[in-house]
Structure 1
Amino acid sequence: MCHVYASTDPARYECTTRSLRLQSSVTSVRLENEFWEILDGLARRQQLSTGQFITELYGEVMQTKGTVPNLASMLRVACAVHLHINAEPAVRSA
Structure 2
Amino acid sequence: MCELYASTDPSLYEVQSRSLRLQGQVTSVRLERRFWQLLDEMADGEGRKTSSFIAELQSEVTQRRGEVGNLASLLRVVCTTYLERRLSQAVR
TM bucket, shorter chain: over 0.9
Tell me what 2:24 maps to: 24
Q: Deviations over 1:2-41 (max 9, x none)?
A: 1111111000000000000000000000000000000000
**Identity rate, percent:** 53
TM-score normalized by the length of structure 1: 0.93
Tell me what 2:69 maps to: 69
Q: Deviations over 1:61-89 (max 9, x none)?
A: 00111110000000000001111111124
Tell me what 2:47 maps to: 47
Superposition misfits of 4+ residues, deviation over 6 angstroms:
none
- Of the structure 1 ranges 26-35 and 79-88, higher mean CA displacement relative to structure 2 is found in 79-88
Deviation at 1:90, TM superposition (A): 4.4
Which SS does the other structure have where 2:60 is aligned? Answer: helix
Unmatched 5+ stretches in structure 1: none
Q: Distance in 2 between matches of 1:81 and 1:17?
A: 22
C-alpha RMSD of matched pairs (Å): 1.1
Q: Distance in 1 between matches of 2:79 and 2:27?
A: 20
Q: Distance in 1 between matches of 2:60 and 2:67?
A: 10
1:80 partnered with 2:90 = no
